[in-house]
Amino acid sequence: MKIKIPLPLVLILVAVGGILTFKQISNPVDRHGKAAYAHTEGILACGPRPADSEGLKKAQQYISKQLAQHGWSTMSQAVVRNTPLGEKTFVNLIARYNVDKLETLDDLKTINTTGILSAHLDSKLIPGIPNFLGADDAASACALIIELAAELGKNHPELAKQLEIVFFDGEEAFGENITPSDGLYGSRAYALSLYDRQPKPRFGIVLDMIGHKNLKIAVPADTDRTLYKALLDAASSKGYEKHYGIAQGSIIDDHLYLNKAGVPTIDIIGADFNHTHWWHQSGDDLDLISAESLTISYHTTMAMLIELLSK
């Protein structure tokens, strides 16, 4: 049976329908942000992750298992270093897509590498906060990389083969701040392996603190201008440009030694993080993390990777 609807009611229904459609289209959270959020939960469930801890080992196992489901193989790079707390073993987790053999650093030299995508997995050991989790510093970045790797393997396998993924250990200092002798243990060891790579990777990306609510990113002032432009172009192409900017000065982070090794590397890091209420505080927990921010970070980073890997 057909029903006639009065014209005024039709106009109201059309208007309401239009509003509903607009809301669905403009929904700021998508499946990638939700997946990255779930992986953040998975990493945090492993517990605190300082170097040489059971929590870190569990988180590495979690990441390796997730990546393996999408065709990525992982290997460990272990180094022993003196620290203010004595000798510690630091273990970087390195991943490559669709390779026959990945066991040693020498195996990496035989695989073409266009770019490096990285984040630090360890959480800081903080006196007075025994259960510090480092949700945004930097579990969220590692979680995002899992989702990026999954989608690259599924939809851009030829680009995935060109990418080396590294989850650094020992970014955090055992003292209050990173110094020339304390902190960046894992990225420094990994960077040493880049000196005799021929050809060297053309670029590197470090992600750090990219999942916090009301996302604001400010890359170091001395960032390679080509990479900074690639970031801004990627953000602008997705309508996210307001979330990205440049800091007033340099920043000491895992990109430092990659740059010294001759691989131009951008540090995509939370803006003015040392003045937030949560950096190296108990507030850096899951409540700080936003699936919307992870959606923004996913699409911006993915667009940037596709552009840089396709050149």
User: Cα separation of 311 and 309, whole Å?
Assistant: 6
* The model's pTM: 0.91
CA 208 – CA 210 distance, rounded (Å): 6
φ/ψ (deg, to 5) at 38: -65, -40
Residue 217 main-chain phi, psi, to 5 deg:
-120, 140
Residue 23 lies in a domain: no
- Tens digit of pLDDT for each residue in 16-65? 444 333 333 345 899 999 999 999 999 999 999 999 999 999 999 999 99
Residue 27: the pLDDT is 57
Structure tokens given for 90: 């630091």
In this structure, is residue 195 part of a structural domain? yes
Cβ-based neighbours of 181, under 8 Å, separated by 6 or more: none
* Ramachandran bin of 148, using left for φ above 0, alpha for ψ from -120 to 50, beta for the remaining angles: alpha
Q: What is the pLDDT of residues 198-228, one digit of tens each?
A: 999 999 999 999 999 999 999 999 999 999 9
User: Domain for residue 10, yes or no?
Assistant: no
**Could you tell me the two tokens for 273?**
């993080």
- Total domains in the fold of the chain: 1
In a domain, 227, yes or no: yes
What gap in Å lies between CA 282 and CA 179, rounded to an integer? 23
- Tell me, what's the pLDDT at 28? 85
Are residues 159 and 309 in contact, defined by beta-carbon separation less than 8 angstroms? Answer: yes
Determine, yes or no, domain membership for 211. Answer: yes
Domain assignment present for 235: yes
Of residues 177, 65, 163, 179, the one with CA closest to residue 114: 163
pLDDT-derived band at 311 (thresholds 50, 70, 90) equals confident
Nearest 5°: the CA angle 192, 198, 199 is: 110
- Residue 12 reports pLDDT greater than 50: no
SS3 content of the chain, % helix, strand, coil (to 5): 45, 20, 40
Size of the chain in residues: 311
The letter for the amino acid at 26 is S
Q: Is 128 helix (H, G, I), strand (E, B) or coil?
A: coil
Give me the CATH number covering residue 245: 3.40.630.10
14: in domain: no
In a domain, 17, yes or no: no
Q: What is the pLDDT of residues 77-112, one digit of tens each?
A: 999 999 999 999 999 999 999 999 999 999 999 999
Structural domain range at position 128: 28-309
How far is residue 96's CA from residue 118's CA, in Å, rounded to a whole number? 12
State pLDDT tens for residues 228-264: 999 999 999 999 999 999 999 999 999 999 999 999 9
